Structure 1
Amino acid sequence: MSSESAGDVVSSFIEKQLTTERATKASLETRGLAVITSAGTLTTLLLALSALVAQRPAYALPGGAWVPISVAATAFLLSAVVAVYSNAPMKSMTVAPAAFKEHLTDKYWGAPKSEAVRAVANSQLILLGAVQNQNKKKALILMAAIIGETIGVIAIGVTVIMLVTV
């Protein structure tokens, strides 16, 4: 038989969930940086394509080709900006020291371990909710950036097809 109480089990579970959410936050921010990098690379590719086309003497861009080029440039710019926003600092998720000040009084200092476990679990549960909300916002922002980048890639593909089939 384990000497662990139900409170210990719940507290451990909440702590693991909080650790998982913090890892998710870091992962979302890393993916945001990847979108920024790839949007920059794809914008460079778009500029190189434009420069290559512009170097050809007496070359006129096929009618309407400026539309997907403009869409691609705009989509890459917006996806990079949105991805930067996904990495913007958000409010730090920590417990205010004052929240545990009363637990340093004589009344609580000698209290059973279960009271401390409950207080810590309660604070971690509040933090868990806040971190989950931040992660949902970051995930939505990141999804918008990825969609923008996808639109840009499709627009480049359309442009290349238009240029090749002329």
Structure 2
Amino acid sequence: MKLVQDQLAEERSTKSSLEARAIGVITSSGALATLLFALAALVTKAAGHELPDLARLVLGATLVAFMGAAVLAIIAARPETYQEVTIESLRAAATQEAMGAPAEKGESEIARVLVDIIAKARDENGNKARFLRRAVTLESVAAVLLALAVAIVLVQG
């Protein structure tokens, strides 16, 4: 029974960790997109200086990648309905008959319910992890594109 309870605690911890990391991706994508706009504004404000066409194209792709990363991270961080013990099953467990049943019977039933909860939590955590991996990948692509855009501006500027 301890193993089952530990696994449930681990899945709940994983959920919190995935959501916290997703919030980090949202924050960093927003900050880097802001820097992108600052760069574009700074370069175009220089007297008589225009952003090279290639830099504009790369900056546009960078913006799309940052937005994609943020959207995927928001999906990863969104609240999900995780399966929990229902009120009805708690009421059934609190009846006089259930309380008088042998401990072995009660523990096996409780373990079965917790395993069902763990299975659902693992599915949901797997979904969150997939969206988070995609978000991090897109954010990485966006960071490389941003560096490329800066290099283009420096070389052609």
Could you say which TM-score interval applies, normalised by the shorter chain?
over 0.9
Residue of structure 2 in register with 1:79 after alignment: 69
Q: Distance in 2 between matches of 1:106 and 1:46?
A: 66
Q: Which runs of 5+ in 2 are unaligned?
A: none
Contact 2:40–2:51 (Cα < 8 Å) also in 1: no
- The one-letter code matched in structure 1 to 2:10 is T
Deviating 4+ runs (over 3 angstroms): 100-107
Q: Distance in 2 between matches of 1:29 and 1:84?
A: 9
Alignment of 1:133-152 (within 5 A): 133-152=123-142
Contact 2:72–2:132 (Cα < 8 Å) also in 1: yes
Q: Is 1:162 paired with 2:152?
A: yes
Residue of structure 1 in register with 2:25 after alignment: 35
How many residues align? The count is 156
Shift of 1:95: 1.1
Q: What is the aligned-residue RMSD (CA, Å)?
A: 1.3
Contact 2:82–2:121 (Cα < 8 Å) also in 1: no
Farther off after superposition, 97-106 or 122-131: 97-106
| Structure number having the greater helix percentage | 2
Farther off after superposition, 123-132 or 74-83: 74-83
Q: Distance in 1 between matches of 2:94 and 2:27?
A: 48
Q: Distance in 2 between matches of 1:103 and 1:63?
A: 69
Q: Distance in 2 between matches of 1:27 and 1:59?
A: 45
The TM-score with structure 2 as length reference comes to 0.93
Residue of structure 2 in register with 1:98 after alignment: 88
Q: Which runs of 5+ in 1 are unaligned?
A: 1-10
Identity %: 29
Farther off after superposition, 86-95 or 38-47: 86-95
Q: Distance in 2 between matches of 1:155 and 1:43?
A: 12
The TM-score with structure 1 as length reference comes to 0.89
Contact 2:82–2:124 (Cα < 8 Å) also in 1: no
Q: Distance in 1 between matches of 2:120 and 2:144?
A: 36
Residue of structure 1 in register with 2:101 after alignment: 111
Q: Is 1:122 paired with 2:112?
A: yes
Q: Distance in 2 between matches of 1:62 and 1:101?
A: 69
Q: Distance in 2 between matches of 1:21 and 1:110?
A: 31
Q: Distance in 2 between matches of 1:138 and 1:96?
A: 24
Q: Distance in 2 between matches of 1:50 and 1:73?
A: 11
Contact 2:82–2:120 (Cα < 8 Å) also in 1: no
Shift of 1:92: 3.3
- The one-letter code matched in structure 2 to 1:93 is Q
Residue of structure 1 in register with 2:45 after alignment: 55
